[in-house]
Amino acid sequence: MLHATCYTLRSTRYMLDATCYTLHTTRYMLHTERYMLDATFYTLLATRYVLHATCCTLHATRYRLHATRYLLHTTCYTLHATRCTFHTLGYKTLHCHATCFIHWAILQEAEGFRFIFSEDEFFGRRCSDFAFAANEKKTKAINHMVSRAFPSQRITRRVSASSSWEP
């Protein structure tokens, strides 16, 4: 009877050991699962940071492209403004020349002359060369018109009413 009790106690002890080992195994498996979940979480976190870095790089590239675009726009606007300035200066000069030419042509027709010049021939002349007239009244009008059109240019030839001069 004593032997039977000993074997029963031993059997109970082995059963308890087996239960303990099963519990340990379960505990280690749960730890393993936790570590695997942790590893997955940190992998996802790393992926998130890589995506953030990529987004930041793309944003920086986008802003650099915007800056380049704005710089090109500024350059184009500056060039356009320069071109418009030159056009304005050119139009002012052409307007003065055209005014002289029209007045000169009117005076020529009034005198019965009709001179036809090509554009190059006309614009190659100095405006003061057109300052002539057949009488004192026309002379004053032409000289006044030329000095108004070109205030910085000295008129080198003034014509009196008695002189006759043709270009």
Cβ 139 vs Cβ 160: under 8 Å: yes
The answer to whether residue 163 is domain-embedded is no
Q: Mean pLDDT, to the nearest integer, of 128-138?
A: 44
pLDDT of residue 107: 65
The answer to whether residue 165 is domain-embedded is no
| Higher pLDDT pick, 76 / 123 | 76
The answer to whether residue 156 is domain-embedded is no
Give how far Cα 21 sits from Cα of 16, 25, 26, 36, Å.
Answer: 9, 6, 8, 22
The answer to whether residue 62 is domain-embedded is yes
Query: How far apart, in whole angstroms, are the C-alpha atoms of residue 153 and residue 92?
Result: 15
pLDDT of residue 72: 93
pLDDT at 116 over 50: no
What's the number of domains the chain is made of? 1
pLDDT of residue 86: 81
- Count CB neighbours of 149 within 10 A: 18
| Higher pLDDT pick, 49 / 113 | 49
Q: Which domain holds residue 129?
A: 2-149
Cβ 132 vs Cβ 108: under 8 Å: no
Q: What is the dihedral of CA 113, 118, 123, 125, to 10 degrees?
A: -50
The dihedral sign for the CA sequence 56, 58, 62, 65: positive
pLDDT of residue 110: 58
The answer to whether residue 167 is domain-embedded is no
The answer to whether residue 32 is domain-embedded is yes
Hey, what amino acid is at 125?
A: R
The answer to whether residue 164 is domain-embedded is no
Intra-chain end-to-end CA distance of the chain, in Å = 155
* Digit-coded pLDDT (tens) for 71-109: 999 999 999 888 888 877 777 776 676 677 766 666 665
The answer to whether residue 154 is domain-embedded is no
